[in-house]
């Protein structure tokens, strides 16, 4: 991996700031919720903003406007959980999850099948189905498989756009992720374990 000079990579136990962007795959939302709970920050769930009922996508410019409004109105700080590059310029702390594909795929598979079984409301009030995941191109499981080669290159792809003043936490293994949770006194809620 090519190191980018201007990126301010910090240790996993480095102090956390009030404006977070979490990028990558394999635990973004769980980590974002844990940070929001611990630091009493607004959790800006990008999937809930992007998706309309019936799995329709909100226009990108409208999504950007809503995200911006949420950030501005969250005066105590915020944390997001999506790979939107525009978040980079506003984040003081950037967490890049670049976990191994087998970890990402296993987590996505478990999450998707659990959601299909329980009919949990997700992404703007939608539900996932077994049919969606097993028989269509809209499957989150299929998406993980198709994107499998990109999961190991997230940091490198984002690095050129990272602001020099942002603290960057780079997490590549489940062990490092667990160390990050422990170092900052974070906990997963029981249904996210």
Look at the pTM and tell me if it is higher than 0.85: yes
Phi, psi of 100 (to 5 degrees): -60, 150
Q: What are phi and psi of 83, to 5 degrees?
A: -90, 40
User: SS3 helix, strand, coil % of the chain, rounded to 5?
Assistant: 50, 15, 35
> Do 110 and 35 meet the contact criterion of CB atoms below 8 Å apart?
no
27-61: pLDDT as tens digits: 999 999 999 999 999 999 999 999 999 989 999 99
Tell me the per-residue pLDDT of 55-96, one tens digit each, with 9 for 90 and over: 899 999 999 999 999 999 999 999 999 877 788 888 999 999
Tokens of 165: 């003043």
* Average pLDDT, rounded, for the chain: 88
**pLDDT for residue 42:** 96
Query: Which residue ranges form the domains of the chain, and what is each CATH number?
Result: 8-100+152-185 (3.40.50.300)
Q: Is 110 exposed, middle or buried (0-12, 13-18, 19+ CB in 10 A)?
A: exposed
35, 94 Cβ separation under 8 angstroms = no
Quickly list H helices, 46-185: 46-50, 60-73, 101-118, 130-135, 140-146, 154-158, 174-183
Residue 193 makes CB contacts below 8 A (sequence gap 6+) with: none
């Amino acid at each position: 991996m090519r190191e980018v000079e201007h990126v301010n990579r910090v240790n996993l136990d480095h102090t956390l700031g009030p404006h977070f962007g979490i990028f990558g795959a394999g635990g973004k939302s769980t980590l974002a919720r844990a940070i929001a709970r611990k630091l009493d920050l607004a959790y800006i769930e990008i999937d809930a903003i992007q998706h309309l009922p019936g799995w329709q996508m909100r226009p990108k410019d409208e999504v950007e406007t809503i995200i911006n409004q949420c950030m501005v109105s969250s005066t105590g700080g915020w944390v997001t959980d999506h790979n939107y590059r525009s978040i980079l310029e506003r984040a003081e702390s950037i967490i890049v999850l670049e976990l191994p594909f087998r970890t990402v795929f296993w987590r996505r598979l478990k999450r998707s099948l659990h959601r299909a079984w329980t009919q949990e409301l997700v992404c703007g009030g939608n539900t996932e189905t077994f049919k969606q995941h097993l028989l269509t191109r809209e499957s989150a499981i299929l998406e993980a498989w198709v994107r499998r080669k990109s999961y190991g290159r997230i940091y490198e792809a984002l690095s050129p756009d990272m602001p020099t003043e942002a603290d960057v936490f780079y997490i590549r293994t489940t062990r490092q992720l667990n160390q990050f949770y422990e170092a900052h006194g974070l906990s997963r809620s029981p249904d996210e374990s």
